[in-house]
Structure 1
Amino acid sequence: MSPDRPPGLDPDRLRGLLDRERPGLVDGPLSGRLIEGGRSNLTYAVTDGTSTWVVRRPPLGHVLATAHDMAREHRVISALHPTRVPVPRPLLLCEDPEVLGAPFYVMEFVEGTPYRTAEQLAPLGAERTRAAVLALVDTLVELHAVDPAAVGLTDFGRPEGFLDRQLRRWGKQLDASRNRELAGIDELHAALGRALPTSPAPAVVHGDYRLDNVLIDADDRITAILDWEMSTVGDPLTDLGLLVMYSLPLGAPDSPVSTTAEAAGHPAPAELIERYAARSGRDVSAVSWYTAFAWFKLAVILEGIHYRYTLGRTVGPGFDRIGGLVPVFIEHGLTTLQEG
């Protein structure tokens, strides 16, 4: 496979589809490259030498039901694009697996940087890092302020019984990828079920909201929220819990998954929680439960990725170390729930 034809992307077939569906959009042969950093759905930058677009498709191998729904991703960014929530402009959804081997969608390329680690944030300095993380909170408040009905997303989720259903869903996801013993994960799952909080009014939920799923430009503005594969309409505090989780030190050196908590200037979780509460008007007293749930959910996701790695169905570096990280997330989840 040549460098401009990465696995899972056929530029010629893509060009043929775009010429049929969006005539005049592409001017010349296409080439593409895999955008590194994703651990689930695959993201490619595609160019004709003048313009650049982004293609999103499911992973090449083991796919869990409902976890990689391209139509849902395309629908939510289409609904949010006219609002104040920054998302890329969607261009095309293709549900025909004959083109690239799986459904996919095409969207505009947005300039900006996803900051994944404290080391990557270091050149910004403490003041700009603080501003970026606080902007992340403010943008989440903006997302949760969108009325799902007003943007045509009334049926995008089922808010009634959302948390209970989420717990059952992630338990099933775990079972689908379970091929080894994981001490404590069933205990964490059961403890979360015994302590379910009462959800606030439903909102559009991103499902994987963190600093490296947004793009930040040279003026420290958030230009786009990316990776909507887990989005739904449900309990908005699940997004806050995940954001808090990623603002805590992981305590796992050389991890292929990291938080930005140790970056100079990074606000403490308590400040992020307080800012979200003040700007959204929501009761955040149960945030420890939501944070523990985030640790559990990430443990399940990482175990699924580890499972695909054992089958030889992953693309990119770092997958060999994912499996060793799962127990760390389980332990953090148990500790957070006990302390809450």
Structure 2
Amino acid sequence: MGPAVDLRLVVPGSLGYSSGGNVYNAMLAGALAGLGVRVETVEVPGAWPVGSTEDRASLAAALGVPSATAHDGASPARATASPDAVLVDGLLALGEPEEVRAATAPGPARLGILVHMSLPDAPGLTPEGRRRLAGLERASLAAVDAVIVPSSFAARRLAERYGTRALVARPGVVRAPVSPGSLTAGAPPHLLCLAALLPGKRQLRIVRALAGLAGLPWTATLAGHDAADPDYARAVREEVRRLGLEGRIEVPGELRGAELDQEWARADLTLLASESETFGLVVAESLARGVPAVVPAGTGAAEALALSLEGGLGAAGTAVREEDPAAGGDPLCSETGQWLASAEVRARWRAAALAARPLLPGWDATARAVLGALSPASAGSSGTR
């Protein structure tokens, strides 16, 4: 699919905070427009991934399902003309195979699902809930023309689970100034975690790991939306107080604009401890500023960190395993401690991040990959339909 086409991008209604998925969607829309694609973004609010009758009606309308097929009460969230392709966020589509199947019938438009996260990977699910979501997801993926994911890690996950062939459109980065960091100003090293305060992001693990490093100089900020799970956000702040780290760890909530820029400017190392990450957009954003990172192994965040290898100076950080008390504690603590204690490690990781920075792909590359996946020429190379 080349330029001068019409594409409808169907995304969830506002989550009220910045997530990797909604940042990807917004940046993709802008990059597609920059390539000459006529992009219509349609927001569909609802209790996803499995919505109410009204939610599903709105989704059907946004996907272009004829009114006779859609449930009663569909909201008027439909384009005035038929697009050449429809790309729908997986948070909407993966739990609603009936609406997805109906959307493949009306006409020639190609339908793709953009899978930011596989539903069974959501934290806190019961085994029965995981099986149910996997069944819905399998059916939705089988119905569409294209499945697009942000990482090779995510593509492998879908292939292993369902035999789905997915095409990769990695997130790009926005060029940003190099973060000078706190060390250059003679201050203690500053550590930064940017993630919503949710159990799956595991800020409690970070707080406890840093408590084990209290004898070394450092400060830290755990910044992220704190209203989605108030109990967990409260638990993180209480753990900071319980461990006597109030003067060293800040938990300010979500930062945007100038406040976020200031936080990046004083960052020397990014920490991410998520249970599951499809890619880890914040890691690419960190590298774009010359800031190395410690990330969870066995997730897409390790793939994001591997972008730093393109600079030829090794990895700009490390990927750490899960906690294992029998093996001597938490690798997040030991690896971060090694970075704090060793000027040589700090210099090596920083040099690798700076070397990789000019080589990171922009969002135009992401947009081209998406267009290629939605092109009729790609039929048979993704999806299972």
Give the alignment's TM-score, normalised by structure 2: 0.23
Larger Rg: 2
